Structure 1
């Protein structure tokens, strides 16, 4: 919670289940209660967690919100793209359908942009939002045309259900406008005992996008650097850190650790020594 507040990340909605929160915990739960693998609940939930896991490799931090009241939204969170001081807010609809996926799904996705009191707003709302539609089949011409016509920033991804691999990624002009200008796709091949398999990786300015594990490690190091600016007399207890944030947010609402300084030495703050002295006097 402290890290999310410090980096001004949107609050996440509660998970719809107390029994699982990712693919491994869901598989353990399904095995424990003998949930049939052919059931709608198993197929849908398994695919949502598969998508969550796959997209984490490309710096998506997503929380599952799927359930009876998901209003069409299955995952919400943030996309931590390189060279972005603030992550993009995203919501995802997952379609584990065997039938052809048509343009009606794009219209359904568009409808989620305007929902009020929805998982979209509690998990990734406010400001610009990117809607992501994920399916098990390639986008049809109808889907591609609907995306091109859309007045919202939308993205299509094909994620294979069995192997959990990303096989297609498309986005529209509105997505480019909201910050996807450096995004690219790289086709990769891997050899297996009986075949050669293909998948794609997402890139930024030609470089593969770091996974969320790496992003979180970088954020932790950056948080330590930012806190060190205030801890000249030794480490602060957790309660004092929260009090510090209260004052900083009140006096300097735009202040946060500067993501653009990751990997560099020097300051990671927009505040001057005098600004920090003023805050510490009030602490």
Structure 2
């Protein structure tokens, strides 16, 4: 029986990246659908849960994507609330790669030791990856701040992560090089999750900072978020600071994404959101 993955995307066009990884993860056929909202998804869910016998439902799964994390979370909640005993399929949330990318980079950071009580700053952290990475760092016991050009945006995200994960994050306004340098002055961990091609820190802002121990950059498009680093960094040491670039931890991200897709087809009751994906990332990183 064919393994069918229905890709419910909150954007107009389903992500080609997610489609490729879905096939690489073991789906036999990916059905990409765009502009999916809580208001128009019911009939689509019905099509996934009423068509196959109980023993065969594991061969149908749902992947929720799109660039808007809040919209993705709302869509996931709607899907789960539509299920009822005996009529459900496995589902995964990964809006804009948020869960898999965040889980992979934080798994690399925590692999270097206990980060409880460490001060972590997620620069430009209001996007999907920054939000989830900040929450994961906080779940590991770090004291986490999120920066944004507008304080209101950082406050909104901190509130949303409190609601979702019951973690306390600190919002910080940092709109230029100088303010971002001030934001990381006492940080032990710095993670850059800004827009592609935007440098957030110059090398002089971090290289001689005596407090920074770990850094990572989710931007793979030059100029990088961390000036003076390399997209290929895989735990490279710069003046006693261990750094991962986007390609450096990207191998784990892709392996994790594929593993999650494969896991969807193991039974019809998987719900893969941040916590489970993060635990899987840490285990995979430990085993490699």
Which one has the bigger helix percentage? 2
TM-score, reference length from structure 1: 0.31
Choose 1 or 2 for highest CA Rg. Answer: 1
TM-score, reference length from structure 2: 0.31
Answer 1 or 2: higher relative contact order, Cα 8 Å, separation at least 6.
2
